[in-house]
């Protein structure tokens, strides 16, 4: 652990004062730690500057938001990808929020302490560590093939829903756990049943936390590319998306543009990235706003 007490156990002649030297090293260590922290932040800054330099001009060229995919970098637009992402967002909310919040309520309010509950808990923790591309294979095997949905928007949305379910469950549980026990007891004391207590008191109280968690989870899904590639999203779509049609999404479109050899597509991809980052920024900003706004009540 700490350096041994040399002074008392050794003869006076061996003792060399070295405090200054050690303090100097300690100061250098502090600077090294600060640099370590700084490098991450600097790279984040470089990344943003690089993307904006490459894509900002392209962003404002006519037709970028309204144009369809194209073989020509200057004509290529985001329309189908943007629509696809909006569709995905709505479907994700519809599918994963009820299931995720339901599971969280069950685990926090209902689950007896038994093997099954423990098993479910371990399961959720484990699912959060599964690589996203493996969810893509799950979607390909179950939704595309077994359910016969094929490479469609619905299949992609279901896949992403399963991907973010563990995140939503964990966030919602935390919010529900923050509800004071006295609330529940007051409700029970008035003769309310368990469900009445949960639906009228626990959930309303926990909603800011749940909404924040949901937005952050969903924004993670909006930036996901790999599982959608496996499920069959494509980056050259020209038709409007539909539930049972092939689909595109912002990150897929960006990936498609990045992988094209023509240099002009680099700027188009960077412009797409700006749109994606802006979307995520707004979503996360909203989440943080809601958290801060409503946490004052507690």
Partner 1 sequence: METPNPVSLSIRRERTLEKSVTRGIKEKIIALVLLGCALVSVLTTLGIILTLFEVTVEFFQEVSFAQFFLDTRWTPLFADQHFGIWPLINGTLLISAIAMLVAVPLGLAAAAYLSEYASHRLASTLRPALELLAGVPTVVYGYFALTYVTPLLRNFIPLDVFNALSSGLVMGIMIIPTVGSISLDSLRAVPSSLREAAYGLGATKMEVTTQVVFPAALSGIAASIILGISRAVGETMIVVIAAGQQPRLTLNPAEQVAAMTAYIAQVAAGDTPRGTIGYKTLFAVGSTLFLITLLLNIISYLIAQRFREVYD
Q: Which of residues 232-291 bind partner 1 (CB under 8 A)?
A: 232, 251, 254-255, 258-259, 266, 269-270, 273, 276-277, 280, 284
Q: In the complex, what is the shortest distance from the CB of residue 137 to partner 1, in angstroms, rounded to a whole number?
A: 4
Contact with partner 1 (CB under 8 A) among 10, 15, 23, 56: 23
Q: In angstroms, what is the minimal distance from the CB of 97 to partner 1?
A: 11
Rounded least distance, CB 228 to partner 1, Å: 10
Q: How far apart are CB 106 and partner 1 at their closest, in Å?
A: 4
Minimum CB separation of residue 61 from partner 1 in Å reads 19
d(CA 63, CA 61): 6
User: Under the criterion CB under 8 A, does residue 197 sit at the interface with partner 1?
Assistant: yes
Distance CA 161, CA 66 (A): 28
Restricting to residues 52-71, which ones interact with partner 1 according to CB under 8 A? 54
Q: What angle do CA 276, 280, 283 make, to 5 degrees?
A: 140
Q: Which of 15, 72, 110, 147 binds partner 1 (CB under 8 A)?
A: 110
Pattern of binders to partner 1 over 131-170, x per CB under 8 A? xxxxxxxx-xxx--xx---------------x--xx--x-
For 284, counting Cβ atoms within 10 Å of its Cβ (0-12 exposed, 13-18 middle, 19+ buried), the class is middle
Within 10 Å of residue 274's Cβ, how many Cβ atoms?
A: 18
b/e map 196-224, b = 16+ CB within 10 Å: ebbeebbbebbbbbbbbbbbbbbbbbbbb
Please give the residues from 26 up to 45 whose contact with partner 1 meets the rule CB under 8 A: 26, 29-30, 32-37, 39-41, 43-44
Inter-residue contact 78 to 250 (CB < 8 Å) = yes
Nearest distance from C-beta of residue 255 to partner 1, angstroms: 5
Q: In a 3-state reduction of DSSP, which class is residue 193?
A: coil
Say if CB 278 and CB 264 are below 8 A apart. no
Task: Supply 126's token pair.
Answer: 């484990």
Paired tokens of 191: 């003769």
Question: How many residues bind to partner 1 according to rule CB under 8 A?
Answer: 101
Under rule CB under 8 A, residue 111 binds partner 1: yes
Contact pattern from residue 166 through residue 195 relative to partner 1, giving x for each residue in contact according to CB under 8 A and a dash for the rest: x--x-------x------xx--xx-x-xxx
């Amino acid at each position: 652990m700490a350096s041994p007490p040399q002074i008392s156990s050794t003869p006076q002649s061996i003792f060399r004062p070295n405090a200054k030297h050690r303090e100097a090293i300690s100061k250098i260590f502090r600077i090294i730690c600060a640099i370590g922290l700084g490098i991450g932040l600097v790279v984040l800054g470089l990344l943003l500057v690089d993307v904006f330099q490459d894509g900002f001009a392209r962003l404002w060229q006519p037709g970028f938001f309204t144009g369809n995919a194209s073989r020509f970098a200057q004509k290529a637009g985001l329309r189908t990808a943007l629509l696809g992402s909006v569709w995905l967002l709505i479907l994700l909310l519809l599918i994963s929020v009820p299931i995720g919040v339901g599971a969280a309520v069950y685990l926090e309010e209902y689950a007896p302490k038994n093997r099954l509950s423990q098993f479910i808990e371990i399961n959720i923790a484990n699912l959060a560590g599964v690589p996203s591309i493996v969810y893509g294979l799950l979607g390909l095997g179950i939704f595309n093939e077994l359910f016969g949905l094929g490479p469609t928007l619905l299949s992609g949305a279901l896949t992403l829903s399963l991907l973010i379910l563990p995140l939503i469950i964990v966030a919602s549980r935390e919010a529900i756990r923050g509800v004071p026990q006295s609330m529940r007891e007051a409700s029970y004391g008035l003769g309310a049943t368990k469900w009445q207590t949960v639906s009228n008191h626990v959930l309303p109280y926990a909603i800011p936390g749940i909404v924040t968690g949901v937005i952050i989870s969903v924004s993670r899904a909006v930036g996901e590319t790999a599982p959608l590639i496996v499920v069959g999203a494509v980056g050259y779509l020209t038709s409007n998306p539909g539930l049972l049609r092939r689909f595109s999404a912002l990150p897929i479109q960006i990936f498609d543009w990045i992988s094209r050899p023509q240099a002009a597509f680099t700027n188009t991809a960077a412009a797409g990235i700006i749109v994606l980052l802006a979307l995520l920024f707004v979503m996360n900003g909203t989440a943080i706003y809601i958290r801060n706004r409503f946490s004052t009540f507690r």
